[in-house]
A = this chain, B = another copy of it.
Amino acid sequence: MQDITKVAVDAMGGDNAPAEVVKGAVDAVSTRNDIKVFLIGQEDAVKEELAKYTYPENQIEVVHAPEVIEMAEPPVMAIRKKKQSSIVVGMNMVKQKEADAFVSAGSSGAILVGGQVIVGRIKGIERPPLAPLIPTEKGVSLLIDCGANVDARASHLVQFARMGSIYMESVLGIKNPRVAIVNIGAEEEKGNALVKETFPLLKECRDINFVGSIEAREIPHGGADVIVCEAFTGNVILKLYEGLSATLIGVIKQGLMSTLKSKIGAALALPSLKKTLKAFDASQYGGAPLLGLNGLVVKTHGSSKATEITNSIFQCVTFKNEDINGKIKDRITDQPIEQD
């Protein structure tokens, strides 16, 4: 039998906590027996939810954390002050090796700060990037970094490219993943100062399959497997992706519901339409890992439902079994690192 992967899950994080988080954890342990979940949160509330289900009880343990970090709290202060919050307690479990990973749908800022301050970076990693999978026509691509390190430097982006390659190869099983840098044109001489500095460094990396620049237009077409960018740009891409998809689907629904004839058409077409649109939904792959830490931290959407929590827990298992952090240590921290 394989090792047990121990996952600390923030039972208080996100819009649908604790109900959906608890359901996601129950679904995960009911599906696989190589997982142990620690549900971190206000004990009474969590246990009340748990009581609704039948599940293998030895696979879930509730860890009491009375405090909650709110979405709007300044992250650095919240991490420092709320030692009994689910985020701080969960991250400390990863730090102490009591858990392999921590999953949270809570405050992005607190998760990013806590990951660096509590869990800590792998030696040699300059900045840990947040790397969600985004849906494309052909499957998914990894967007790295999408919000952790604004105003990053070229050497950071090179590390992002390497970590992203390892992730896509080991977790998604994509051999020799294509790595591209987000740019405003396909030619090498295009770009802002950061891209112009990073491009030749990526070209020199022999251990990644660098395919050059990618224009934002090509991202939804699946033009690359690993999409490297500075966090401000990555955040714009991720949020526009979500916002525009929601808006367009809304506009289409409105069109389908506008006349009696179109309503009948919609009723006939809907099952097939739902199926193809589901393929364009990345939540089935879990949340966004914060890579390069001594352990794994996964940020899921604030609006996560049980499915995203379950899939994020499974993602932690793959991450551990594939020894992503061992690979990052071997392949990245052996490289000469530019100093700040």
Contact = CB atoms under 8 A, between A and B. Distances in A.
A243 interface: yes
A129 to B, nearest CB: 14
Given A184-B232, A219-B243, A240-B240, A252 B252 contact: yes
A252 B277 contact: yes
Nearest to A184: B235
Interface residues of A, number: 64
A243 B248 CA distance: 13
Contacts of A238: 216
A325 to B, nearest CB: 27
A151 B251 contact: no
Contacts of A217: 239-240, 242-243
Contacts of A120: none
B266 A269 contact: yes
A48 to B, nearest CB: 33
A277 B244 CA distance: 13
Contact of A235 (B216, B232, B280): B216
Contacts of A176: none
Contacts of A113: none
Contacts of A255: 269, 272-277
B268 A254 contact: no
A33 B231 CA distance: 51
Interface stretch (A98-106, A163-171, A199-207, A257-265): A257-265
A237 B235 contact: no
Contacts of A232: 184, 191-192, 195, 233
Contacts of A136: 247
A276 B251 CA distance: 7
A136 B240 CA distance: 12
B272 A261 contact: yes
A193 interface: yes
Interface string A196-232: 0000000000000000000111111100000000011
A236 B233 contact: yes
Interface string A15-48: 0000000000000000000000000000000000
A272 B248 contact: no
24 contacts: A74-B189, A136-B247, A137-B247, A150-B192, A151-B193, A184-B239, A191-B232, A195-B232, A216-B238, A220-B246, A221-B243, A236-B237, A240-B240, A240-B244, A248-B249, A251-B279, A252-B277, A254-B276, A255-B272, A259-B272, A261-B269, A262-B268, A262-B272, A265-B267
Given A184-B231, A219-B240, A255-B277, 11 more contacts: A137-B251, A195-B232, A216-B239, A216-B240, A216-B243, A217-B242, A217-B243, A255-B273, A258-B275, A262-B272, A265-B267
